Amino acid sequence: MLGADTVLPCRVYPAMNVESMEIRWFRNQFSEAVFVYQNGMEQVGEQLVDFKGRAELVKDYITEGRVAVRIHSLRVSDNGMYKCFFKKGTDFEEAVLELKVIGE
């Protein structure tokens, strides 16, 4: 819903602690970062301007391999595909989610 908050969940399988992994949500290109978590910290320098101050990591279950990005104050421009990416060394996993924002 336009103006509301939403959560985009992601997880690895099998379940494992992902605190030491790079975790990234991005739009069409890897460089279009919605949120980046690396070396145990948020990496705001890589984040798209549109998401600064609006995206945060939900890491209540990070030790079980489950995380999410919460996007505040949804905009029409937030519509579309998002990719969730986990990386450790040369190994990585990726998933695609679609967000549909409704409202005027």
Within-domain flag for 12:
yes
pLDDT number for residue 104: 63
**Domain total in the chain:** 1
CATH code, 63: 2.60.40.10
pTM summary value:
0.91
Taking the C-alpha atoms of residue 71 and residue 95, their distance in angstroms, rounded to an integer, is 18
Q: For the segment 36-82, what is each residue's pLDDT rounded down to a tens digit? A: 999 999 999 999 999 999 999 999 999 999 999 999 999 999 999 99
Domain span at 45: 6-99
Could you give the percent of the chain with pLDDT greater than 90? Answer: 88
Closest by CA position to 18, among listed 84, 78, 75: 84
The answer to the question of residue 104 being in a domain is: no
Average pLDDT, the chain: 94
- The dihedral built from the CA positions of residue 48, 77, 53 and 70, taken in this order, carries a sign that is negative
The answer to whether residue 1 sits within a structural domain is no
Helix (H, G, I), strand (E, B) or coil at 50: helix
In a domain, 83, yes or no: yes
- Does residue 86 belong to any structural domain of this protein? yes
- The predicted pLDDT at position 11 comes to 95
